[in-house]
Amino acid sequence: MVPGVRSGEAAMSRRVNAVTAWESLFRAQVAVMRTLAAEFPTRDISFNEYDVMFNLTRQPNRELRLRDLNKHVLLTQPSVSRLVDRLVSRGFVAKCPEPNDARGTIIRLTDEGYDMFRSVAVEHMKTIVARVGGRLDQDELEQLTELCDKLRAGD
């Protein structure tokens, strides 16, 4: 407790600081995402399609259950299903039945999808580095990563 500050005042100050920090984090995220979307380097795939492909590349065998994919992207379940169907029709992902659950579906990034992802990722990374890395020094980048990981661990 801060000397001379009552516990009720300290609690109120902490709530105000938490809301202010949230607002700042939210606005920063929106600003960065708008920039990244506006400067997305291709029209061959959408920003959201790239996000699905990115998440698949981070998984063993580049595959994930559809219901688990929904936990990784910022889209509703019906939107993810439609997006995956578009990627399937273009040969970038494959849908396979889940061996241990007849109702489940495995989404797998195809070799063609991986090649598309890699070609876009190289250019997209340049925008990320400019927008995020160009504004923060190395220590700030490490601290931001640590803080964001700490917030996400609360799930």
Class of domain 40-153: mainly alpha
Per-residue pLDDT of 93-103, as tens digits, reads 999 988 888 78
* Cα–Cα–Cα angle for 59, 64, 67, rounded to 5 degrees: 135
Angle between helices 47-57 and 77-89 (to 10 degrees): 90
CA distances from 26 to 19, 45, 111, 153 (A): 10, 26, 35, 17
The answer on pLDDT for 5 being more than 60 is: no
Dig out the tokens for 155 from the structure.
């799930």
pLDDT grade for 2, boundaries at 50, 70 and 90: low
- Does the pLDDT value for residue 75 go beyond 90? no
Number of other residues whose CB lies within 10 A of the CB of residue 147? 12
Mean pLDDT, rounded, for 38-63: 94
User: What's the pLDDT at 72?
Assistant: 86
Concatenating the DSSP letter of every residue in 55-116 gives HHHTSGGGEEEHHHHHHHSSS-HHHHHHHHHHHHHTTSEEEEEETTEEEEEEEEE-HHHHHH
Q: Which residue pairs from 29-34 have beta carbons closer than 8 angstroms and sit at least 24 positions apart in sequence?
A: 32/131, 32/132
Confidence label for 10 from pLDDT (cuts 50, 70 and 90): confident
CB 101 within 8 A of CB 81: no
**pTM as predicted:** 0.81
41 confidence band (pLDDT: 50, 70, 90): very high
- Residue-range domain boundaries for the chain: 40-153
